[in-house]
Each structure stands twice: as C-alpha cells, then as structure tokens.
Amino acid sequence: MKIDGCTRHNRSYLGVNVQFSKPSDSGGGIQVRTLAVRDCDGIHSGQHTKDMLVQIMSDFEISHDQIFAIVSDNAANMIKTVSLFNQESGEREAGTGTSLAPNEDSPDEPDEDAPDGESEDEDGDAADAHNEDGDAADGDMPDLRAAVSAAPPTASHMRCAAHTLQLAVRDGIKSVSTLLAGARSVVKKLRTPHLVAVIKRRGALSPILDNETRWSSTGRMLTRLLELRPVVEDLGAANPQLHLSNDKWQQLQSLADALVEPTATMARLQAAELTPGLFLKEWKLLKRKLEANGTRLAAAIAAAMDRRQGRLFECDLFLGAVYVDLRYRLLLDEADLNYAERVFNRIVERESQIRCPETSHGEGSGEPGSQQTARAANDGTGNNASSTSSEDELEQALDRLQQRRRLTDAELTSTLREDLEKVRHLPRVKSKDAFEAICSSFPSQVRNAACALTALPVTQVSVERLFSALKFILSDARSTMKPDLVEAILILRTNWQ
C-alpha cells in the first residue's frame, strides 16, 4: 500500500494506492489500483491518517494481514501513521497488547527526516538487528518455525526510495551552498527585464532560477547559466555584479556535471515497473559513479547516501524482495542474504495462510478451528446464545493466534523444505523481467510468494501521479467540487483499463 498527502485549494487530501502481483500462473506482473483520494478535513496527524486508512481498507474489505508493506515519504506524520497501524494490527491479531513490527520505530522515538521542516535524524546508521542472526553456517537451513512466529503479520514500513535519494542529494548540495548562492545571485540579476531583453536580442534562452528546495531545478539553473556564459562574460565586463572568475566557472561546471547522474537515476526511479532489485542496482550504480566523479559535491552526495540507506534498507521485505530477484541477489552481503532468506520463508507461509487459511489448522482436521472452538465452548449446554460478546471476541482472537502458531513439522512438508533449499541455490539469471525469471526458475508452491515480494513498491510515484490528475480535476473553476465527487472521478479515471 502506498500513501501520501497533498493540498489543493486549501483542502488536504490523502491518496492511497495498492500495488500487487498477478498470480504466477498468469506470468506475474505489477498491478496498481487507486483506493482513495480522500479529504482529510484539515487534520494531518498520524492518528487521523491511520483512522482514515483503516476506514478505506474496510470500504474495500481489505484485512490488516493482507497488507505486507506501507510505502510513504519520510514525513513525521506518515511514519507515525505506519507505527499506529501496526499497533492496531498487533492488537487485532493477539487480542491484547500493542506489538510493533520489528523494523518500526517506537511511537515515542523522534520522527525522521521530513522535507518540509519536521525533525531530521542525521544518524542514518543501518539497523543491525538482523545481522545478529545472519551468521548461519553455509548450507544450513534456517529455523523456519522461528522465522514464521518471529512477528505478527504487520505491515513493514518502506520509505519512498525516490524521496530518500532526493534528501541525500539535498544534503550533499549543502556542502557547496556558498558557491550556489553566488550563482543564484547572478541569475537573479540576469532575470531583470532589461537584461532579459538583452539576452533575447542575442538569440539566447532566458536564465532559469531554481527552487532551493528542489535540487533538480538547481541542476537546470546551472546548465542554463553555463550555456549563457559568453553573454554573461560580455555583460560582466560592464557590470561587476555579473562577473564570475574562470575558477568560479570551472567550479560551476563541476557542480553541473556532478548532478547529471543523480538526475538520470531519479528519472529511472519513476518507472512504473520498478522492482526492489532494480532499485538496489540503480542505487549502488549511482554511488559508484559519484565516487568515480571525484568532485566535492559528488563525494558529499555519496556520503549522504551512505547515511540514509540504513533507514531505507531496514525494511525486512525489501531484503526479501532482492533475495527472490535472481538478477540482483548477489548485491546482498552474506549477513543480509541469510536474513533475507528467512524473510522469504516467512512470506511463503504468510501468503499460503492468506490464500488457503484452512491449511493452517493441520491435516485431518475435519472443520475449521473457529468451528471447533465454538463447538467446544458449547459442549454440555447446547446454547450458543449464552456466550457473551466479549467471550466471542476472545475466542476469535485465540483462533487467529492458533492459525498462525500451529505450523507443525507435519505441515512443513519435506517438499516445501526441498523447494526452499532449491531457491537458496538458484543461480543468477540475465532476464529483463524479474517475474519472468521467477516463473521460469522457482518451484511452483513458492512462486506466488516470490511474485508478491517482487511487487513490493519502493516509491510512491503512482500516488504523486494521482495528485497530478487531481490538479486537473479540481481546477480553479471547479474548486468547490464536493470531495466525494472528486474521489469518485479519480478512482474511475485511474482504475479504468
């Protein structure tokens, strides 16, 4: 599930997309659907956003355990929303307590790096919790039962990869802020009406002024300024405020060159079919190119990527998704590889429970566990109405716990063990499509789980595109359109095939 917020005509909206995989017998493939573009009534808190999210899921009859991950940006209220969602999911699953997913921050911990003024955690060190369990000897199968019961089926929090890269580049640009301020000052003077007219008479393009909060516009500003260098040098001879030394011009050229690769990578991250494995390849390739660039800005961006990738890669499902992508699995180190294998084994069981919940009650069971519990509770009385509502809720909660925990050796068949072992030793493949590699290489009974992991969204780009459509639907002339009508139009337009 992907969530994001926007404001249009002083009205705040929450956008929600779901991303999933087609069944493996249909060849897999990523599918995206819009669930809501809902008016927030001006309330942006994590609690209110979580309540809206739960209501939207209820409208579409989506259960908590069907949501494997939630993708958001790094805004504080979105991080809080996911944490509260997992609290509620843990309470629904266990009937008591407030269990958090193992990779989620506690609600009392400081929120992290929001782009619009929220508190920012510059630590960014990688989470090391999974490395402690990542030292299994080569060839040993992980303890599958421990992996399955390690945590309730809450939603992992995946921070938007595109937004994280934006923040890393922004951090790097801070190291050259003085030089950029000088270039920006020259551009502002060039944009005065008199000088714009002079530039046009010379047949040159108008200068571009950047938005300081959007580094991509800074790259465009530098590129245009370098194109205007002959004109600026002529004007600078008569106006000292426009004069830039040769050394400054060379520094500006190096800044523009350093931003070329991040800009190209950001464009590739907008792809609709972006998978976790492909993203990891793009991330590591960009770091390598920046380190080879040798300029101060490139080194600063690479260092910022190192600091931020810990928060980005702490999502356990992200590692599991790279593990099943045979094209890029080798990008994981040994500790992450062992941990990712256990994540995949857990998802295999979880996916099978969602698809066939009755199989989790053991072979030879003549009736679902909930019916067995209800009959046992009524033995000797024959009066089902005598049970109170609270007792019924407790019985249902116990049934759900039993459904999750009764993974016995009989249920974990030798065939499944063999299939998981085969997946561990699958070689690298050179395929253009991750789903094609899964459907041709993975054993059939783990194929759907692998496709589900591969469909893990790593960006919230589709929600941002949804908000672009909102701009046209809720135009200036239609600013008073009712919120439910806006939502209905957008759901119809974006989901129509």
More confident residue, 94 or 418: 418
Question: What percent of the chain is modeled with pLDDT above 70?
Answer: 77
- DSSP, res 106: P
- DSSP, res 366: S
Please state the separation of Cα 392 from the chain's center in Å.
37
User: For the chain, which residues make up each domain, given as ranges?
Assistant: 1-121+460-497, 124-151+315-361+392-459, 158-313
Q: How would you label 226-264 residue by residue, b for 16+ Cβ within 10 Å and e otherwise?
A: bebeebbeebbeeeeebebeeeebebbebbbbbbebbee
**What confidence score (pLDDT) does residue 371 get?**
43
Token pair, residue 29, equals 């493939």
**What confidence score (pLDDT) does residue 442 get?**
93
**CATH architecture group of domain 1-121+460-497:** 2-Layer Sandwich (3.30)
More confident residue, 335 or 393: 335
Token pair, residue 87, equals 């609290």
The CA distance from 206 to 227, in Å, is 10
Kindly report the pTM of this predicted structure: 0.74
Span 351-364, mean pLDDT?
Answer: 60
Confirm if 124 and 308 have CB atoms less than 8 A apart.
yes
More confident residue, 477 or 129: 477
**What confidence score (pLDDT) does residue 4 get?**
94
Confirm if 173 and 183 have CB atoms less than 8 A apart.
no
Of 24, 19, 20, 22, nearest in space to 445 by CA: 24
Residue 360 banded pLDDT, cuts 50, 70, 90: very low
Is the pLDDT score of 150 beyond 70? no
Of 218, 200, 201, nearest in space to 209 by CA: 218
How far CA 26 is from CA of 143, 347, 414, 436, 451, in Å, comes to 32, 20, 27, 11, 11
User: 84-93, 312-321, 374-383: lowest mean pLDDT where?
Assistant: 374-383
**What confidence score (pLDDT) does residue 109 get?**
39
Q: 8: which strand partners?
A: 11
**What confidence score (pLDDT) does residue 366 get?**
38
**What confidence score (pLDDT) does residue 94 get?**
54
Residue 356 backbone dihedrals phi, psi, to 5 degrees: -135, 75
Across the chain, what does the average pLDDT equal?
A: 81
pLDDT digit string (tens) for 296-336?
Answer: 999 999 999 999 988 877 889 999 999 999 999 999 999 99
User: 2-6, 372-376, 465-469: lowest mean pLDDT where?
Assistant: 372-376
Confirm if 1 and 78 have CB atoms less than 8 A apart.
no
**What confidence score (pLDDT) does residue 497 get?**
64
Confirm if 166 and 115 have CB atoms less than 8 A apart.
yes
**What confidence score (pLDDT) does residue 400 get?**
72
**What confidence score (pLDDT) does residue 361 get?**
41
Question: What percent of the chain is modeled with pLDDT above 90?
Answer: 56
Q: 156: which strand partners?
A: 69
Is the pLDDT score of 45 beyond 70? yes
How far CA 107 is from CA of 78, 101, 442, in Å, comes to 12, 12, 39
**What confidence score (pLDDT) does residue 403 get?**
65
pLDDT digit string (tens) for 161-211?
Answer: 998 999 999 999 999 999 999 999 999 999 999 999 999 999 999 999 998
Pairing of strands 156-159, 69-72: parallel
Residue 98 banded pLDDT, cuts 50, 70, 90: very low
The CA distance from 98 to 90, in Å, is 6
Confirm if 452 and 343 have CB atoms less than 8 A apart.
no
More confident residue, 448 or 432: 448
Residues in CB range of 318: below 8 A, 6 or more apart: 156, 158, 276, 312, 456, 458
pLDDT digit string (tens) for 71-84?
Answer: 998 889 999 999 99
Is the pLDDT score of 402 beyond 80? no
Confirm if 69 and 458 have CB atoms less than 8 A apart.
no
pLDDT digit string (tens) for 7-27?
Answer: 999 999 999 999 999 887 777
**What confidence score (pLDDT) does residue 413 get?**
63
From the number of C-beta atoms within 10 Å of its C-beta (0-12, 13-18, 19+), residue 311 rates as buried
- Vertex 439: Cα angle to 446 and 322 (nearest 5): 70
Upper half-sphere CA count for residue 394 (Cβ side, 13 Å):
6
pLDDT digit string (tens) for 263-281?
Answer: 999 999 998 889 999 999 9
Residues in CB range of 419: below 8 A, 6 or more apart: 443, 445, 446
Residue 250 banded pLDDT, cuts 50, 70, 90: very high
**What confidence score (pLDDT) does residue 372 get?**
41
> What is the signed CA dihedral for 92, 98, 100, 105, rounded to 10 degrees?
140
The CA distance from 219 to 216, in Å, is 5
Span 105-118, mean pLDDT?
Answer: 40
Q: Is the dihedral of CA 272, 275, 281, 287 positive or negative?
A: positive
Is the pLDDT score of 363 beyond 70? no
Span 213-228, mean pLDDT?
Answer: 91
Residue 395 banded pLDDT, cuts 50, 70, 90: confident
More confident residue, 144 or 348: 348
